[in-house]
């Protein structure tokens, strides 16, 4: 009932209005996860405009691109919003690398999911604990898995409401917004990287390839999620 009621309230609102609604209704009980991709940069800009009380965090996996740190710094400089970094559990990373080496994720899907769990899923659970609403930069057209989602969802695994203000935006709308508002973005996006994660697990895509073809490119398309946004 709660999700249905929220959908009804937000159905006619645009992304800025959704952000403002979340800021007004949930305030400090809302949290936004950013990986500094272009969609997340749009959301950050809107949160700053709304003078939000929502918290902002990122997952520092320890395997990020140098360009990601660049845009992280630029974002702090431009918006002044505090961005809390969540790191993986040191003991878990030490055990994984000691037992399986630094690149075990290439060897099997199970190994890759283990690495994603340690570096992303477990820190995420700590980051969103105690919040009522989780804001993301997900867009429906990013992958087939995400087309099955909705712009407001109940995340049963994490017991939290998820809201995706840009869910119905196209890539060109995102890019136009960046240009119009001079939003800092990761320079890798200009080099064929539409989706940017950990450096060892991300490559540029070729013309005509799927949006997420560059993520875990050695795996079948059906497996190309790390579990952060698994559908219920």
The CA distance from 212 to 228, in Å, is: 15
Q: Which residues are catalytic?
A: 226
**Taking Cα atoms as reference points, which of 124, 133, 122 lies closest to residue 160?**
133
Q: CA distances (Å), 95 to each of 68, 90, 120, 224, in order?
A: 26, 9, 16, 25
Could you give phi then psi for residue 198, rounded to 5 degrees? -70, 145
Listed in sequence order, the DSSP H helices in the chain are: 2-10, 15-26, 38-49, 66-79, 90-100, 109-116, 122-128, 144-147, 171-181
């Amino acid at each position: 009932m709660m999700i249905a009621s929220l959908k009804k309230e937000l159905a006619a609102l645009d992304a800025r209005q959704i952000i403002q609604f979340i800021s007004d209704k949930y305030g400090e009980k809302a949290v936004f996860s950013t990986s500094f991709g272009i969609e997340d940069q749009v959301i950050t800009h809107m949160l700053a405009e709304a003078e939000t009380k929502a918290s902002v965090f990122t997952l520092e996996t320890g395997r990020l691109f140098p360009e990601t740190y660049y845009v992280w710094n630029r974002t702090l400089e431009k918006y002044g919003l505090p961005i809390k970094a969540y790191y993986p559990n040191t003991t878990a990373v030490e055990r994984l690398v000691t037992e399986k080496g630094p690149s075990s994720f290439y060897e099997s899907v199970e190994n890759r999911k283990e690495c994603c769990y340690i570096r992303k899923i477990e820190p995420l659970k700590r980051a969103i604990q105690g919040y009522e609403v989780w804001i993301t930069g997900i867009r429906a057209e990013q992958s087939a898995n995400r087309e099955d989602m909705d712009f407001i969802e109940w995340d049963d695994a994490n017991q939290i409401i998820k809201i995706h203000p840009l869910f119905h935006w196209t890539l060109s709308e995102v890019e136009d917004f960046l240009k119009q508002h001079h939003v800092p973005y990761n320079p890798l996006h200009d080099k064929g990287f539409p989706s940017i994660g950990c450096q060892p697990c991300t490559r540029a895509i070729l013309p005509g390839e799927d949006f997420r073809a560059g993520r875990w490119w050695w795996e079948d398309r059906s497996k190309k999620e790390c579990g952060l946004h698994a559908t219920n």
